[in-house]
Amino acid sequence: MDSWIEVALAALGTGLVAGTISGLLGVGGGIVIVPVLEAMLGFLGVDPSVRMPIAVATSLATIVPTSIASARAHHRRGAVDLDVAKMWLPAVAAGALAGSLLASRAPAHVLTGLFGVVAAMAAIKMILPLDGKVLAPSVPRGPLGRTLPAGIGLVSSMMGIGGGTLSVPVLTLCSQPVHRAVGTSNLLGLAIAIPGTVGYLLARPVVPVPSGTVGLVNLTGFALIAVGTVIAAPWGARLAHSLDRRRLSAAFGVFLTIVAARMLCRTFG
């Protein structure tokens, strides 16, 4: 089989898995797309210095349609907190744009290390039986209410994820039910993906990149993965509402542990 056909099938399959996980866990699918796409680019012989940046940038672009599909599915079930979303959107968007500009200039090992550390921290919170533990009785407002979402947007954009890896744990620590946190994080993913993608499109790589790549966004991978995510995101949303709170949190944590281990091995191996 031709290598490009294999890559196309892998991209579509990745989109289906990522879309399901996005709807189920509110993570935007990037937590799956980034490591798989980085491996695919290695298979094609892409320069190691741009594999991770292209994977991050392309993943972030696919989160636009994924977040729309997932957020709509959760909103129909009343699981999106529009007040929190409106309060956080401007700061999240500003952080996301800044993160993409920083990441387009950062070495690849910095991105893999950041990805692994943040995923591991989020996994610890979600796996441990801390459902009754909260840090605040409600989502904070004022300076902290702007700093938290800005930080989430910044780090998520640099990781190529939709923000759920950070926003779901943060919202649950602020007394939000996990199902509502998942639904809201999908909507916030749009505020990360759109400005972040713009920043990556404006990047100017100093080494050759695969054909069909604009800035650091590979349009071929984007198109194939996006089709799969849009199809599968509603499947994950339906599944999420059939699981209880503890199982959903544990599933999120176990998945993040696996991803964190892989990325840290990639960084220090």
CA atoms within 13 A on the CB side of 246: 6
**Euclidean distance between CA atoms 138 and 126, whole angstroms:** 19
Computed over its alpha carbons, how large is the radius of gyration of the chain?
17
Beta bridge pairs of residue 214:
217
**Euclidean distance between CA atoms 258 and 269, whole angstroms:** 16
Checking phi first, is residue 62 left (phi over 0); if not, alpha (psi -120 to 50) or beta? alpha
The values of phi and psi at residue 218, to 5°, are -85, 115
Q: What is the pLDDT of residue 2?
A: 47
Q: What is the pLDDT of residue 169?
A: 81
Which of 3-12, 28-37, 85-94 has the highest mean predicted lDDT (pLDDT)?
Answer: 85-94
> What is the pLDDT confidence band of residue 99, given thresholds at 50, 70 and 90?
very high
- Average pLDDT for 130-144: 76
Check: CB of residue 37 under 8 Å from CB of residue 203: no
Check: CB of residue 174 under 8 Å from CB of residue 139: yes
Which of 112-116, 214-218, 258-262 has the highest mean predicted lDDT (pLDDT)?
Answer: 214-218
Residues found in the chain: 269
pLDDT over 70, % of the chain: 93
The values of phi and psi at residue 257, to 5°, are -60, -45
Name the residue range of residue 74's domain. 3-268
By CB atoms closer than 10 A (0-12, 13-18, 19+), residue 173 is middle
Q: What is the pLDDT of residue 269?
A: 65
Residue 1 pLDDT > 50: no
Cβ contacts of residue 269 below 8 Å, gap of 6+? none
How many domains are there within the chain? 1
Check: CB of residue 175 under 8 Å from CB of residue 136: yes
CA-based end-to-end distance of the chain: 31
Residue 201 pLDDT > 90: yes
Does the reported pTM lie above 0.75? yes
At position 219, the amino acid (one-letter code) is L
Q: What is the pLDDT of residue 92?
A: 93
**Euclidean distance between CA atoms 51 and 260, whole angstroms:** 18
- Average pLDDT for 27-48: 80
